[in-house]
């Protein structure tokens, strides 16, 4: 029996090396998008594929260009692995998972440099983790690098978590109600932290006078984005983010220019036209909301809880924004700043037009740059 042990050890090592090479090839063939991660629980083992921005790693970008070359990855493997193991932790029921594999690969084997790396990671537990708790602080400093979207799967069940420096810990598979509450927070945070959506809402609000018109415009926007958010979640209609994001910026410019040219709609016909336009733009924003949380990977139970919670959070955020705007307007009126109240709609629309145009140009440039690569 003892004579067979070296052979079995070599066979096990060879099988492990083959699996590792297969995983590396798969990760490179199916490039994991930046700021995304996956977690798959199989019995007592938890497998991760994580995209880590270069700006989150210390002492690895030797030439300081914000990207890692293949040579820099090779030289910094031990350092990157040590940082990852220390800053990416998973536990369950008081037991800390034991890291058994951390392997670094470039996100695309055809590229010579990249702003992020893909890390294959395995953690083992003594008992199968029922409610794994993930804690991490591998957030970058570049644009869009302050969040990480992680999709967790266990058999037929799936769950999505969005981690950020303020919420860098998440407990998975707690049930639909916990998921609902979590995504109310995420929806609220997304709408209040999204300058593009707030700018669009600003162009909508300043175009109306009186709570009935505000309610009509906000309701049209709400119904529209709820429709496309649901369609995208159910996988019925999907539009690539490369189209949606510039389209959202363009919607800000269109609404702002419309306000500057015609002011607030005064006739019933112009108001109906304005509502139809707001509704059309809302359809586009709904796809943007769906893209922000990657809902299509969820199982049916969590999908409903996530959709309802996220949508409610967005509505609460819209109500908060509208309330703050009305309070500011009322304060100006009470202070006797009638002229400021009269000028505010045009000034706000002009600022929104400039900011929206800048967003549109930046997103189109990023799209063209990505196509050129």
pLDDT tens readout for residues 88-142: 999 998 899 999 999 998 877 656 888 899 999 999 999 999 999 999 999 998 8
Q: Compute the C-alpha angle 299/297/123, nearest 5°.
A: 95
Q: Compute the C-alpha angle 219/233/228, nearest 5°.
A: 35
Instruction: Specify whether the CB–CB gap between 91 and 97 falls below 8 A.
Output: yes
pLDDT tier, 23 (very low <50, low <70, confident <90, very high otherwise): very low
What's the rounded Cα separation, in Å, for the pair 91 and 99?
11
Residue 235's SS3 state is coil
Q: Enumerate residues 6+ apart whose C-beta is below 8 A from 255.
A: 200, 203, 204, 207, 277, 278, 281, 349, 352
Q: Which residues of 50-70 are buried (b: 16+ CB within 10 A; e: fewer)?
A: bbbbbbbbeebbeeeeebbbe
Overall average pLDDT of the 300-308 stretch: 79
What's the rounded Cα separation, in Å, for the pair 42 and 178?
23
CA dihedral angle for residue 332, residue 337, residue 338, residue 344, rounded to 10 degrees? -60
Q: Tens digit of pLDDT for each residue in 156-178?
A: 888 888 898 888 999 999 888 88
| pLDDT value of position 235 | 77
Q: How many residues does the chain have?
A: 373
| Residue whose tokens read 């297969």 | 22
Lookup: tokens for 23: 């995983």
User: Treating both helix axes as pointing N-terminal to C-terminal, what angle do 338-372 and 241-262 enclose, rounded to 10 degrees?
Assistant: 150
- β-strands 45-53, 88-92 pairing: unpaired
The partner residues of 161 in beta bridges, in order of sequence, read: 150
Element holding 68 (H helix, E strand): strand 68-69
Residue 57's SS3 state is coil
**89 compared with 206, residue with greater pLDDT:** 89
Q: Enumerate residues 6+ apart whose C-beta is below 8 A from 168.
A: 135, 136, 137, 139
What's the rounded Cα separation, in Å, for the pair 211 and 204?
13
pLDDT tier, 358 (very low <50, low <70, confident <90, very high otherwise): very high
| pLDDT value of position 56 | 93
Q: Tens digit of pLDDT for each residue in 50-84?
A: 999 999 999 999 888 888 998 999 999 999 999 99
What's the rounded Cα separation, in Å, for the pair 156 and 300?
10
What's the rounded Cα separation, in Å, for the pair 177 and 114?
39
Residue 250's SS3 state is helix
What's the rounded Cα separation, in Å, for the pair 173 and 46?
14
Overall average pLDDT of the 350-355 stretch: 92
pTM: 0.71
What's the rounded Cα separation, in Å, for the pair 149 and 186?
12
What's the rounded Cα separation, in Å, for the pair 175 and 364?
40
Question: How many CB atoms are closer than 10 A to CB 324?
Answer: 11
Q: Compute the C-alpha angle 150/154/160, nearest 5°.
A: 25
The closest alpha carbon to 298, from 168, 170, 161, belongs to 161
Instruction: Specify whether the CB–CB gap between 169 and 135 falls below 8 A.
Output: yes
What's the rounded Cα separation, in Å, for the pair 204 and 321?
12
The closest alpha carbon to 51, from 38, 62, 68, 60, belongs to 38
């Amino acid at each position: 029996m003892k004579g067979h042990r070296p052979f079995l050890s070599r066979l096990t090592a060879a099988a492990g090396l083959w699996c590792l090479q297969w995983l590396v090839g798969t990760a490179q063939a199916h490039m994991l998008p930046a700021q995304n991660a996956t977690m798959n629980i199989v019995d007592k083992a938890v497998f991760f594929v994580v995209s880590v921005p270069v700006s989150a790693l210390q002492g690895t970008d030797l030439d300081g260009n914000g990207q890692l070359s293949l040579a820099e990855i090779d030289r910094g493997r031990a350092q990157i692995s040590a940082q990852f193991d220390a800053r990416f932790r998973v536990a369950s029921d008081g037991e800390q998972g034991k890291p058994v594999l951390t392997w670094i690969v470039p996100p695309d084997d055809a590229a010579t440099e990249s702003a992020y790396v893909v890390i294959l990671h395995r953690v083992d537990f003594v008992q199968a983790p029922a409610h794994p708790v993930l804690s991490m602080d591998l957030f970058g400093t570049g644009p869009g690098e302050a969040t990480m979207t992680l999709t967790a799967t266990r058999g037929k069940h799936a769950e999505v978590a969005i981690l950020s420096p303020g919420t860098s810990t998440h407990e998975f598979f707690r049930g639909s109600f916990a998921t609902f509450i979590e995504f109310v927070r995420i929806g609220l945070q997304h709408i209040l932290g999204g300058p593009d959506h707030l700018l669009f809402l600003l162009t909508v609000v300043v175009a109306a006078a009186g709570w009935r018109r505000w309610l009509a415009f906000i309701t049209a926007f709400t119904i529209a984005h709820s429709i496309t958010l649901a369609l995208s979640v159910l996988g019925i209609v999907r539009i690539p983010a490369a189209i949606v994001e510039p389209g959202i910026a363009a919607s800000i410019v269109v609404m702002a220019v419309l306000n500057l040219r015609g002011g607030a709609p005064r006739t019933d016909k112009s108001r109906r036209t304005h509502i139809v336009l707001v509704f059309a733009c809302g359809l586009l924003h709904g796809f943007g909301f769906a893209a922000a949380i990657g809902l299509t990977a969820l199982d049916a139970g969590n999908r409903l809880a996530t959709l309802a919670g996220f949508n409610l959070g967005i509505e609460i955020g819209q109500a908060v924004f509208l309330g703050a705007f009305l309070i500011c307007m009322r304060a100006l009126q009470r202070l006797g700043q009638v002229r400021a109240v009269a000028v505010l709609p045009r000034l706000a629309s002009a600022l929104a037009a400039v900011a929206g145009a800048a967003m549109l140009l930046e997103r189109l440039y990023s799209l063209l740059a990505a196509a050129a690569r």
